Amino acid sequence: MNAIAEPVLHPPIPATTKAPVLDTLERPLRDLRLSVIDQCNFRCTYCMPREVFGADYPFLRASERLSFDQMVKIAKAFAALGVEKIRITGGEPLLRRGLETLVERLAGLTTANGKPMDIALTTNGSLLAARARALRDAGLRRVTVSLDAIDDAVFRRMSDTDLPVARILDGIEAAQAAGLAPVKVNTVIERGVNDGQILPLVRHFRGTDIALRFIEYMDVGGASTWSNATVLTAREIRAVVESEFPLVALAPEHASATAVNYRHADARGQVGFIASISQPFCGDCTRARVSADGQLYTCLFATRGTDLKPWLGDAEPVEALAEALRRRWSARDDRYSELRSIRRTSGTGKPYPTVRMSLVGG
Ligand code: SAM
Ligand code: SF4
Ligand code: SF4
């Protein structure tokens, strides 16, 4: 096994104001989701349906995407304001060439408290087998892999790909072998599409050290076929799991954790439930998102972002960017999921036009 180099830590920049910065609902800024690309090699029907994201879809050109230098500058500014964790996402982040270089640079950052920045990655796993070791060597510590079925036919239908499930399982195994920990698996459940996969997934991952988390199907931008009827609630999913495997509730990992976790009664692993629709957690939402083209979104369901590019030029000090971020976060009042039933139709009967998930990152 290769020796894993510890990242060289860079001291934090001084915060322009005392961290933590609070929004109008007194929520601190703790997490950054950084989208590195808006393209994907899958066309999951709940995220990038092929009818919408076809061959002529106007994805960002490479020149429109943030450079790694700009991303690192953004990360430093967020660190100054209290961010402790950066999740790299997309689109499919492993399609971004040289991602290991970015991971290495982000892993070298320090939080406002002087701790190493916690770097995580969310991926569809299709390209992970060949990259897990290099990502680990670059300083990645953990990974979340999205996988919606164990059965090939259901997986291929839902992710709209020709790849077999084995390809994703190989990626998961490689991540474990490389020492990434924890490795989590996220599964979106859509009623009538993959609810028959709940038990096969639990059976597969029991006893493997991999925490499986079920996510309620959300009405994010891109989920064009979403309706209330397509949502299987976390409570319903848990009932299916408990029909075969008794579960015991665990204490939350931290206040802003999105998943409610359970362990198998026989101690053979964990299962989590993310109830974004049926039990929204806006009250504890400490997440900011930056899209691959440098827009700041303060909610997954925002309709518009704040363009950060004016602060990303070489001549602009990182402190000025931090100050702009502080001002924007201080004005934040988002709580879409809590207001969902009112805002869904924006008063016109038309769907509420939120930013597409694949641009802003899950
Ligand atoms: N491509 C990577 C992946 O699939 O893991 C990263 C980006 S993807 C947008 C991040 C997460 O968003 C995935 O776990 C995916 O399942 C989830 N997601 C996308 N659309 C969703 C929806 N309509 N409801 C719930 N989760 C969704
Ligand atoms: Fe791609 Fe991830 Fe969206 Fe699926 S969920 S289409 S893998 S970005
Ligand atoms: Fe956070 Fe917006 Fe989701 Fe609420 S709806 S939890 S504010 S991202």
pLDDT in tens, 219-242: 888 787 888 899 999 999 999 999
- Contact present, 306 and 290 (Cβ < 8 Å): no
Question: Which range has the worst mean pLDDT, 94-98, 167-171, 273-277?
Answer: 273-277
pLDDT digits (tens, 9 = 90+) for 310-360: 999 999 999 999 999 999 999 999 998 888 766 554 444 445 567 888 787
Residue nearest atom 10 in ligand 1 by C-alpha distance: 362
Task: Tell me the backbone φ, ψ of residue 144, rounded to 5 degrees.
Answer: -115, 125
* CA 156, chain centre distance (Å): 22
Provide the pLDDT for residue 351.
53
Q: For ligand 1, is residue 123 a contact (CB within 6 Å)?
A: yes
Confidence of residue 254 (pLDDT cuts 50, 70, 90): confident
For residues 357 and 256, the model is more confident at: 357
- Report CA(106)–ligand 1 centroid distance (Å): 22
| C-alpha span between 78 and 328 (Å, rounded) | 12
* Domains parsed from the chain with CATH numbers: 31-360 (3.20.20.70)
Q: Which of 292, 265, 187, 279 is nearest to 235 (CA)?
A: 279
Q: In what order do the strands lie in the sheet with 295-297?
A: 247-249, 260-264, 270-274, 211-216, 183-189, 142-146, 118-123, 85-89, 31-35, 287-290, 295-297, 306-307
DSSP assignment string, 208-225: TTPEEEEEE----BT-TT
What lies within 8 Å, CB to CB, of 338 at 6+ separation is 280, 282, 283
Provide the pLDDT for residue 219.
86
Provide the pLDDT for residue 153.
98
Provide the pLDDT for residue 341.
61
Provide the pLDDT for residue 14.
54
| C-alpha span between 272 and 211 (Å, rounded) | 7
Ligand nearest to C-alpha 276 = 3
Q: For ligand 3, is residue 300 a contact (CB within 6 Å)?
A: yes
Crossing angle of helices 152-159 and 165-177, in 10° steps, is: 90
Q: Residue 224 class from Cβ within 10 Å (0-12 exposed, 13-18 middle, 19+ buried)?
A: middle
Provide the pLDDT for residue 233.
96
- Report CA(3)–ligand 1 centroid distance (Å): 33
pLDDT digits (tens, 9 = 90+) for 34-58: 999 999 999 999 999 999 999 999 9
Ligand 1 atom showing the smallest separation from residue 35 Cα = 7
- Region 139-162 average pLDDT: 97
- Report CA(335)–ligand 3 centroid distance (Å): 5
Q: For ligand 3, is residue 282 a contact (CB within 6 Å)?
A: yes
Which residues, listed in sequence order, are joined to residue 307 by a DSSP beta bridge?
295
- Region 92-119 average pLDDT: 97
Backbone dihedral region for residue 18 (phi beyond 0: left; psi -120 to 50: alpha; all else: beta)? beta
Q: For ligand 1, is residue 197 a contact (CB within 6 Å)?
A: no
Other beta carbons less than 10 A from residue 51's beta carbon: 9
Judged against a pLDDT cut of 70, whether residue 135 lies above it is answered with yes
